[in-house]
Structure 1
């Protein structure tokens, strides 16, 4: 299994990061994509990707951090993206739920990162929350210039899912789908995602699967729980978990150029 979304730079992993990575690989994780959310975190994600085997990173500015975009940010991201461990541009997109950065700041940073990815012929690692229509409006002009894109941590509606699939996007599914309070609607959409467009992720340390048994003592999510997420996704899709893991690994190679 390959975890396409791990926030390994999080302070929640500061005290036992080596053990977290070791547990992940012991649990069957074969590789991880470490998420960059701003320049500092993207640099740190790159450092960690160099430190741990079978890890890669993204380089980007999350919509929450879009207010940090400066005149020299683009040049710095391009430099990071030139490193062999960096597999995608992002996390980038729009988040109109909390608006930690203004919509205007988010749109400026998003369009700039799409331009960077197109220029470098790199895939994009995307974020969209409560901004579907505007997100697609900004993304559409770049799709034929990008080698690929994944909408990370998808939690949207059937209409939104179909719109993304129609555009050729990969769909990242997390442990959100294991949440009996808010993940049931997403669970019902799982069979609509073609197997060759599905990617799996923990988004650790966030989104701990609520149906883990026994329940972990900590609410912190870990990439070691990816096996549980894959098993539950396969169950709800009516597929064999081992087959699904192999299929999503093939999708990782197709999108990111990473062979496991």
Structure 2
């Protein structure tokens, strides 16, 4: 099984990153993609990916929270990083109108610029959308035929939004959010609607620790070693064999991100 979204640059991992990777490997997590969310974290993500070749890869991009930082210099640096062999996607990019840490205009400008860059470099995009579906689709749609792949990371939207994303050809990333008995029930009911060749799984560690882990870890920190639990639960809710599902999402990740 493959974890397509790990925030391994987060300071919560600063004291034990090597052990985090060892624990994931011990539990059959076959690889992971380290998420870049701004220039600095994209640089760190690339450095970590280079430390663990053929097991870790990274993205390079600017998250909508950091969209106010977008500039010519940032665009040039993201482009340089994105051309490194260990970088397999442009992002995390998109729109987040829930918190608006950057203004909607700043977010839309940075998102459109990164879609253009991904098309120029022929890279898949690793996408974020929260409370912004209509504008997200409007900005993304014109670029889809120019991109080799598009993954909507940490999908938590409605049935209508899922249907539209699937019609446009997006692949869908599911996290431990679906294991939350308070917020994840609607998403559980949508799991069967995702074609198996368009489904990807992720922890989004250190965030979104699955609430139904038993026993519950002493720390609230999520990490890639909990991906097998997410695979198991998603398999139950999709009425599929967990081993088959884990293998399939691994194949999907390697195909979409063009990994060995």
C-alpha distance in 2 between matches for 1:220 and 1:57: 21
C-alpha distance in 1 between matches for 2:18 and 2:77: 28
Deviation at 1:246, TM superposition (A): 1.0
Deviation at 1:85, TM superposition (A): 0.1
Residue in 2 aligned with 1:70?
71
| Unpaired segments ≥5 residues, structure 2 | none
Residue in 1 aligned with 2:241?
240
Residue-by-residue CA offset, 1:156-190 (whole Å, 9 max, x unaligned): 00000000000000000000000001000000000
Residue in 2 aligned with 1:18?
18
Deviation at 1:75, TM superposition (A): 1.1
Residue in 1 aligned with 2:5?
5
Residue in 1 aligned with 2:91?
90
C-alpha distance in 1 between matches for 2:145 and 2:32: 27
Deviation at 1:205, TM superposition (A): 0.1
C-alpha distance in 2 between matches for 1:144 and 1:109: 20
User: Partner of 1:56: helix, strand, or coil?
Assistant: strand
1:1-260 pair list within 5 angstroms: 1-53=1-53, 54-259=55-260
| Unpaired segments ≥5 residues, structure 1 | none
C-alpha distance in 1 between matches for 2:215 and 2:205: 18
C-alpha distance in 1 between matches for 2:191 and 2:83: 35
Deviation at 1:12, TM superposition (A): 0.3
Deviation at 1:99, TM superposition (A): 0.1
TM-score between the two structures when normalised by the length of structure 1: 0.99
User: Partner of 1:29: helix, strand, or coil?
Assistant: coil
User: Partner of 1:136: helix, strand, or coil?
Assistant: helix
User: Partner of 2:156: helix, strand, or coil?
Assistant: coil
Q: CA RMSD in A?
A: 0.6
User: Partner of 1:72: helix, strand, or coil?
Assistant: helix
C-alpha distance in 2 between matches for 1:213 and 1:71: 48
User: Partner of 1:128: helix, strand, or coil?
Assistant: strand
TM-score between the two structures when normalised by the length of structure 2: 0.99
C-alpha distance in 2 between matches for 1:245 and 1:72: 40
Structure 1 window deviating more from structure 2 (154-163 vs 249-258): it is 249-258
C-alpha distance in 2 between matches for 1:5 and 1:191: 21
